[in-house]
A = this chain, B = another copy of it.
Amino acid sequence: MSRSRDAVHEILRQSAAFRSAQDIFTEMRADGSKIGLTTIYRALQALNDDGRVDVLRTDDGEAVYRACATSAHHHHLVCRGCGLTVEVDGPDVEVWAERVGAEHGFTAITHTVEVFGTCGACAKG
C-alpha cells in the first residue's frame, strides 16, 4: 500500500470535514485520477487501522473519515451544515465514562462522544 493510500490521505489532510468514500472518489476523479472506488475503501481501511484517520457514522449509516491533527484520544465538534470539524477533548468525560462503567461492573471501557451543532458561518447565510 502506498501510491493510492497516500493520495487518499492527502485529500483528507486538505479537508476540515469528515468525508465519505464516494465523496473522495468523486473529488479524485474530478482531479483526473484514475483511482477505483475499491482502492479508496481499502486505503481508508488501512489508514484507519494505522490510526491515521478517524471514522464515524452519519445518521444514515454512512462511514465518513477525517485525518485529525492529533493521534491522541480526542473527540469532535461537527457542524451539521458544512461539516466543519474541530478536535476537542474533555478530561471530565473520560473520567465519567470510566466511572459509570465501573459502577455497573463493566470492564474494558471505551466510549464514543461526538458533539454536533451549527458553526458560526452556517448560522448566518
Contacts and interface: CB of A to CB of B under 8 A. Distances in A.
Contacts of A62: 61
A31 B88 CA distance: 48
Q: How many copies of this chain sit in the oligomeric assembly?
A: 2
B118 A106 contact: yes
Interface residues of A, number: 34
A2 interface: no
Contact of A101 (B77, B104, B108): B77
Given A61-B61, A90-B96, A116 B105 contact: no
A120 to B, nearest CB: 4
Contacts of A118: 106-108
Contact of A111 (B115, B119, B123): B115
Nearest to A57: B57
A86 B104 contact: yes
